[in-house]
Every structure is written in structure tokens, then in C-alpha cells.
Structure 1
């Protein structure tokens, strides 16, 4: 027997109060409330079901985050592309899969604002070429340029994103020297949390944190 939406919502509330988020999600889904169901599937630690609900409700960006959380990288990239975020789609593919040619096509097609977004597009495109064909010269040049330009980028969130992309790209092509160069530029630019990220990276990649700052950069002299 089909239950009315009102009864289903009441049941969902009771299930949620009891901590049974999966049953609460099923009730909302049956009632046609897929946005609420998606949130509850996430609380129930079932990102695949959550992603399906987000997709059915036209929220591919949220679905992409769910697929990422369980290592479904190709599906995540497809959703990012569906959401119009070609940079995230390409970055997911070039760093998490071997679909380098597709990633390069996404970066080529992406329309970006000048500054940080365009710099990230260039890093992604050249990383895709480096991983696909072993051509690293253009990427090395781009990463060195990123270090020089990082302090001039805005907003602050974009500086942090460029730091992440540049350091990751440097690591993937076996150039930790460039990763350290980017971290040093980020530190001088006062990017929030840079010192902690630099410490963690140095310990993991270099096995040594000697010389790496342990706190934020001091403010410039007046």
C-alpha cells in the first residue's frame, strides 16, 4: 500500500531522531523529497545513493563530491563537467585516473577568468601533456612562473588553489624542488595554513622538515 507523503515525512522524522538516517532517507525519497533524501543518505554514509538523488534533482556538483569520497573518479569528473566546472573535471582525471587525453581536452575547452583560474588551467593542461607524453618542459616553466605570480593573485582562496595544484603537479612529475619553490612563494604571500601544509608535505615527500617554517610568515615591515 502506498503511504501518503505526510505519513512518510513523519516516519522520516522519527527515524532521523533515532539515528537511522538510511530509513529516513528512504522515506523522503518515497515521498518525492529527493534533496532531503540526498542529505540523509550522506548522513547515513551512503554517498552512492546520495549522488543518485543529487543527480536526479539536477545537482551534479554535489553528486561529484559524493563520487569523489568513494573513489569513483570518472563518475565525479563527469558530474563536474555536467555542472560546468571543467577545471575540476579535468583536474580529477589528470590526478586520479589515466584519462590524460580527456583531461587535456577539458582544460582546453575551459573558459576561465584571468589570473588564478587561467593559471590553474595552464597547469592542468600541461600536467596532462606531461603525464600522457612525458613532455615536462612546458609544465616546469609554468610551475616556476606560478611561484613568481602567486603573491599577486586574488582572492586569497585562489592563491591557495594555485598552491595546491602547482605542488601536486610538481610531485606527480617528480620535481619536489618545484613544489618547495611554490610553497616558499605561498608562505611569503601569507597564504593561510601554508606553513602547516608545507610541513606535512616535506615530511611525506622529502622525509625531512629541516628549514621548513613552523608558523605563519611575519607581516611585512612598515
Structure 2
């Protein structure tokens, strides 16, 4: 490790410890440590730089999340398209109400459906949500919650069994979005509860689930007092 690299690393860590995350990010960026730089930009609240740096680091999910928070669904979808993921790209546009733009992407995902059970379940969620939105747009037409309810029950069971942490969190996010669309906040809470159950990869993953659960409960229900206590281990059942 060269002297320059050592100095930049030392500076980045010092900035981070002082809470100067934007300065830390620039140091990491200079080093080419894109993941660390993106994370520091995110901590600094600079979502624009965080999104672009996550994208360059090959993390379309993180990049898309930042662009979503910025209110830029088109850019979020493009991140997924660049990664060859039409289903995820279509979902970004779909939940933003851009059904016309989402349609060809979902069609592409349907033509070559994923083989793994969890992504296939997400494809079904996207198709059902698309149909529901289109049905509501039609004159005199109404879509009931029944197809969603049965599908969301499958999602809850899948969350309990899927081994991939990334796929579990993505399935949770999509399931909650779908449940919220039919005002089934009880189902959304059940999905969070399933994702929060103890697992081998539990510490970091469960902390992230609880953080998302708290944010959701504050927005949708107006409080978080009933949620699990951070660090507490629920009884597995």
C-alpha cells in the first residue's frame, strides 16, 4: 500500500469519525473505493452522488433506492435495465404509476420468467399490481383485493423460507408495497414480522428489517411503540 493510499485512508477514517461523511466520501472516491464512497455519500445525505457511485460500483439495488428517494423512478429503472433486470426496472416504474412505461419491461420479464421461486413470486406480484392499476383506470371497472390476498399469503410463507438475504428483503419490500395498495396494513405488518424472524444471518439482516419496519409504521400507522425492541430476540415459532 503506497504512502498516498495510506494518507487518504487515514483522512477518510478521520473524517468519518468526525461525522464529515461528504469529505470521507471524496477520499474514498479518489481511492476508487466506490462502495465505501457511496456509503459515505449516503450517510452525508448526498443521494445524487450516492446513487451514481452505487451504480458505478455495480449495486443497482442501492442506486435505484437512492433515485427512488430522489423522486426519479425513470433513473431508478434505468439502473436495473443497465444490469439486465427488466422485472425490477418495470417494478420501479409501476409503483411510481408509470404503467405505460412499465408494460414492455414486465412483458419482457414474462417472456423469460425467472426460475427461482422468490423472483417468480415477485413477477406474479408485479403482474397482479399492473392488472389492478389498469382495471381501476378503466371506466366502471373495479379490482377486488382477493387475488392479492392469496398471493400475499404466499409471499409471507416465502419470506419465512427463502435463504438469500437480498432476495428476502426485496420480496419483503414488494410484498409490503402490494399490501399497502389494498390498505391491508395488517398484512404488511405480518410480512415484516416474518422477515424479522431469527435466522443464521440474523444480526445485520434483522436490524435492517426492523429499521424499515419502524419507518413504515411511523408513516402508515403513526407510531412504532408496538414494534419489537432493537436487539431483542423474538421466540422462533
TM-score (norm 2): 0.60
- Does 1 or 2 have the higher relative contact order (CA < 8 Å, sep 6+)? 1
Q: What is the aligned partner in structure 2 of residue 92 from structure 1?
A: 92
User: RMSD of the alignment, in Å?
Assistant: 3.8
CA–CA distance in 1 between the matches of 2:174 and 2:34? 35
CA–CA distance in 2 between the matches of 1:87 and 1:58? 17
Q: What is the aligned partner in structure 2 of residue 106 from structure 1?
A: 105
Q: What is the aligned partner in structure 1 of residue 150 from structure 2?
A: 148
Q: 1:169 to 1:106 in 2, by over 3 A?
A: farther
1:116 aligns with 2:127: no
Offset at residue 100 of structure 1 (A): 1.7
Offset at residue 90 of structure 1 (A): 2.1
CA–CA distance in 1 between the matches of 2:194 and 2:140? 30
CA–CA distance in 1 between the matches of 2:154 and 2:80? 28
Q: How does 1:66-81 map to 2 (within 5 A)?
A: 66-81=66-81
CA–CA distance in 2 between the matches of 1:136 and 1:164? 24
Q: Aligned match of 1:125 in 127, 130, 141?
A: 130
Q: 1:160 to 1:15 in 2, by over 3 A?
A: closer
Q: How does 1:1-222 map to 2 (within 5 A)?
A: 4-96=4-96, 98-110=97-109, 111-112=113-114, 113=116, 116-130=121-135, 136=141, 139-140=143-144, 143-153=145-155, 154-156=157-159, 163-170=175-182, 179=184, 183=187
| Bigger Rg, which one | 1
Offset at residue 43 of structure 1 (A): 1.1
5+ long unaligned stretches in structure 2: 161-167, 197-213, 228-237
Offset at residue 117 of structure 1 (A): 2.5
5+ long unaligned stretches in structure 1: 171-175, 205-213, 216-222
CA–CA distance in 2 between the matches of 1:63 and 1:93? 15
Q: 1:169 to 1:135 in 2, by over 3 A?
A: farther
Count of residues paired in the alignment: 185
TM-score (norm 1): 0.64
Q: Match of 1:4, SS?
A: helix
Q: What is the aligned partner in structure 2 of residue 209 from structure 1?
A: none
